[in-house]
Amino acid sequence: MHTGASGCGKSTIIQLLERFYDVTSGQILLDGIDIRQLNLQWIRSHLGLVSQEPILFDLTIAENIAYGLENVPMEDIINAASRANIHQFIEELPQGYETKVGMKGRFLSGGEKQRVAIARVLLRQPKVLLLDEATSAMDSQNEQIVQEALEQARTEDPSRTSLTIAHRLSTIRSCDLIYVLDRGHIVEHGTHAELVQRREAYYKMLDQNTLQ
């Protein structure tokens, strides 16, 4: 878990892991290997990204969930949707999984789009789950529904590593390890309880209501 004020460099870490661009100094190591020495396609095949604004295409819900994969059984698509808390909603639509979502998913609400995006990630079974402010733009009701889906994604595979970027206390406090960033630097890390007890940067963010 990475947290910190807006503009401190939280999302940059995910962009560097995905190799949208490379570091200009220093290194990012995966199991001791410089990430630039690894095959780009191989790296991205092991990462599953859920961002604040999910990317959906003018296709059916089923096609959006299975996007980028070939010959996916419908049973697997439904299973992923169920784990993402979106299956029941889809079943209630007149055309079900064959419903077109429109350009950028405009026929769906923010919470519905996010759960379709989570289903897509779950279908891929990534080794590393990247969650970038995935619920920050939602009201409390939608946040709770999506948060349950994200928790399922984080915990269903014990070998899966989750890197979460967030500013909401409800998302942060349950994480195994929290890193606090300030101006591009990690200033402290620990569990929620440890950081509160330390009464430094994290505690000050709580005290100033920076974390909601």
Q: Is the pLDDT of residue 174 over 80?
A: no
Return the number of other C-beta atoms located less than 10 Å from residue 170's C-beta: 14
Structure confidence at residue 212 (pLDDT) = 53
Q: CATH classification of 2-207 is 3.40.1260.10, yes or no?
A: no
Whether residue 61 contacts residue 99, with contact meaning beta carbons closer than 8 Å, is answered with yes
Return the number of other C-beta atoms located less than 10 Å from residue 10's C-beta: 23
* Residue of 92, 88, 90, 87 whose CA lies nearest to 101: 90
Instruction: Give the global pTM.
Output: 0.81
Structure confidence at residue 210 (pLDDT) = 58
The mean pLDDT of 145-168, rounded to a whole number, is 81
Question: Cβ contacts of residue 188 below 8 Å, gap of 6+?
Answer: 179, 180, 195, 198, 200, 201, 202
Domain range annotation of the chain? 2-207
Whether residue 5 contacts residue 210, with contact meaning beta carbons closer than 8 Å, is answered with yes
* Residue of 156, 165, 128, 111 whose CA lies nearest to 48: 128
Phi, psi of 4 (to 5 degrees): 160, 175
pLDDT tens column, 53-91:
888 999 999 999 999 999 999 999 999 999 988 999 999
Lowest mean pLDDT among 100-109, 139-148, 173-182: 139-148
* Residue of 142, 124, 100 whose CA lies nearest to 50: 124
Place of tokens 């990012």: 28
**Confidence class for position 208, pLDDT limits 50, 70, 90:** confident
Query: Between residues 135 and 210, which one has the greater pLDDT?
Result: 135
Structure confidence at residue 183 (pLDDT) = 80
Whether residue 98 contacts residue 129, with contact meaning beta carbons closer than 8 Å, is answered with no
